[in-house]
């Protein structure tokens, strides 16, 4: 625990994430303007006291849109990773624990999905389903669950034949009991690290897909879509794309810092290297 507190990455990452959650929850109180309200008289204006980060091509307050955008990015990241984790845990556990044909079948499916570069598969699925936030999340889950299934299966295979599991089985423990009490807790730490880094990656990818017009639809404030709005006004009003990009970077960086720090603390092999 002391290591967790001392690790600067974990500290920084957690602080920023807590701040972002605060912003997302209290967006209604913090934001100076309504994020979708247009002020055509003030369109494309530079940062000022009225609009701290300026306005976009419809005169909407960029700061307010970024503040409300926190809600979308955080929830997409957490929901997609949560669902992928559940799916990966379920299928990975079944594959690893029961083995045989079931294992072969599940792992071949995993291989099939992993054969695509993830961005292309997500693009194609989100595109085929049609642009919407829900479809974007479905596409990201389809792409993401496979790596969790693989990791879960791998660690179950390495644990299930060890003595302590055998011993518990000898004492009459059932499958479900063995899995939840002995096998799964041992796969937890790599999963926590993966999931933390995964949230950052999903936020980045979701923003990218929304930037391409395949995610959140206007006028909902979303960071990637805001960047896309700013494209045409890059010369006259670069602030439209600078600030949402900064928001994406800081958020993703926070999750990467936290995940990287957690890996140092949780992975005993790396810990040794640090101690040396």
Partner 1 sequence: MLWYILRRVLLLLPTLFLVSIISFSLIYITPGDPAEILLTGPGGGADPKAVEEFRVRMGLDQPFYIQYLRWLNDVLHGDLGYSYMTDQPVADTVFGSFLSTLKLAAVSMVIALLIAIPFGILAAMKHNTIIDDLSRLTALIGVSIPNFWQGFLLILIFSIYLGWFPVAGYGDGGDLKHIILPAVTLGTSSAAVTMRLMRSSMFEALEQDYIITARAKGLHERVVIGKHALKNALIPVVTMIGLNAGFLLNGSPIIEVIFAWPGIGRLVVSSIYQRDYPMIQGSILFVAIIFLTVNFIVDILYTYINPRIRYEAGD
Contact pick of 10, 27, 256, 265 for partner 1 (by CB under 8 A): 256
- Residue nearer to partner 1 on the CB measure, 2 or 108: 108
Q: How far apart are alpha carbons 271 and 274 in whole angstroms?
A: 5
For residue 175, the minimal CB distance to partner 1 (Å) is 27
Interface of this chain with partner 1, residues 83 to 112, rule: CB under 8 A: 108-109, 111-112
Contact pick of 157, 260, 266, 271 for partner 1 (by CB under 8 A): 260
Q: How far apart are alpha carbons 23 and 162 in whole angstroms?
A: 46
Q: Three-state SS for 101? A: helix
C-beta of residue 251 within 8 angstroms of C-beta of residue 73: yes
3-state secondary structure 169-222: HHCCCCHHHHHHHHHHHHHHHHHHHHHHHHHHHHHHHHHHHHHCCCCCCCCCCC
Q: Cβ of 100: how many Cβ atoms within 10 Å?
A: 8
How big is the site for partner 1, counted in residues (CB under 8 A)?
Answer: 44
**Burial of 131 from C-beta contacts in 10 A (0-12 / 13-18 / 19+):** middle
C-beta of residue 70 within 8 angstroms of C-beta of residue 26: no
Contact pick of 39, 169, 245, 266 for partner 1 (by CB under 8 A): 245
Binding mask 204-233 for partner 1 (x = CB under 8 A): x--xx--xxxx---------x--x--xx--
Query: Six-digit token pair at 271?
Result: 């810990």
- Residue nearer to partner 1 on the CB measure, 39 or 57: 57
Contact pick of 119, 167, 188, 232 for partner 1 (by CB under 8 A): 119
Interface of this chain with partner 1, residues 149 to 178, rule: CB under 8 A: none
- Residue nearer to partner 1 on the CB measure, 99 or 213: 213
- Residue nearer to partner 1 on the CB measure, 31 or 125: 125
Contact pick of 66, 76, 106, 125 for partner 1 (by CB under 8 A): 125
User: Binding residues for partner 1, per CB under 8 A?
Assistant: 108-109, 111-113, 115-121, 123-125, 127-130, 200, 204, 207-208, 211-214, 224, 227, 230-231, 234-235, 238, 241-242, 245, 248-249, 252-253, 256-257, 260
């Amino acid at each position: 625990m002391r290591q967790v507190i001392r690790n600067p990455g974990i500290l920084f990452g957690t602080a920023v994430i807590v701040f972002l959650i605060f912003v997302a929850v209290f967006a209604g109180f913090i934001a100076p303007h309504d994020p979708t309200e247009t002020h055509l008289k003030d369109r494309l204006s530079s940062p000022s006291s009225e609009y701290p980060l300026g306005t976009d091509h419809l005169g909407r307050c960029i700061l307010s849109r970024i503040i409300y955008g926190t809600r979308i990015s955080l929830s997409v990241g957490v929901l997609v990773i949560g669902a992928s984790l559940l799916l990966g845990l379920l299928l990975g556990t079944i594959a690893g624990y029961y083995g045989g044909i079931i294992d072969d079948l599940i792992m071949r499916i995993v291989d099939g999905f992993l054969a695509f570069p993830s961005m292309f598969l997500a693009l194609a699925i989100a595109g085929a389903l049609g642009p919407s936030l829900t479809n974007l999340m479905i596409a990201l889950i389809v792409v993401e669950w496979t790596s969790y299934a693989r990791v879960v299966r791998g660690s179950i295979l390495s644990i299930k034949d060890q003595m302590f599991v055998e011993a518990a089985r000898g004492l009459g423990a059932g499958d479900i009991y063995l899995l939840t009490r002995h096998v799964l807790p041992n796969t937890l730490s790599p999963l926590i690290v993966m999931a933390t880094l995964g949230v950052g990656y999903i936020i980045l990818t979701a923003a990218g897909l929304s930037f391409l017009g395949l995610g959140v639809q206007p006028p909902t404030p979303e960071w990637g879509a805001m960047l896309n709005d700013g494209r045409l006004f890059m010369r006259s009003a670069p602030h439209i794309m600078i600030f949402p990009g900064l928001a994406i970077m800081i958020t993703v960086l926070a999750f990467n810092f936290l995940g990287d720090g957690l890996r140092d603390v949780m992975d005993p092999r790396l810990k040794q290297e640090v101690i040396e």
